[in-house]
Amino acid sequence: MQEQPKVIQYQTSGTCCQLMQVAISDNKIVDVQFYGGCNGNLQGIRSLIIGMNIDDVIERLQGITCGPKPTSCPDQLAKCLIEFKQKVGV
């Protein structure tokens, strides 16, 4: 039986996207919504990561930068998932 998704919100820093809302169930991304940012790119990221294990998402996205910025929307998503893991003890 699949557990009820845990929904987390993450206030981003240093990106055009201001807020991310991620639903996670059984350590997998069930849904993600981005508020602000490059709509087409973020829809693409959403489509690619739904169903993925959060550790795989972190591994693939952590450390990606956007132009001269030290972070990016994908990097902020990885930070969001790391924070989630720390809070729930995964």
Residue 90 burial (CB count, 10 A):
11
Class of domain 6-88: alpha beta
CB–CB of 10/80 below 8 Å? yes
The answer to pTM > 0.85 is yes
Q: What is the rounded end-to-end Cα distance, in angstroms, of the chain? A: 19
Residue with token string 């206030």: 11
Q: Where are the domains of the chain?
A: 6-88
Tens of pLDDT, residues 24-52: 999 999 999 999 999 999 999 999 999 99
How confident is the model at residue 90, as a pLDDT? Answer: 66
CB–CB of 44/36 below 8 Å? no
How many residues are listed for the chain in this entry? Answer: 90
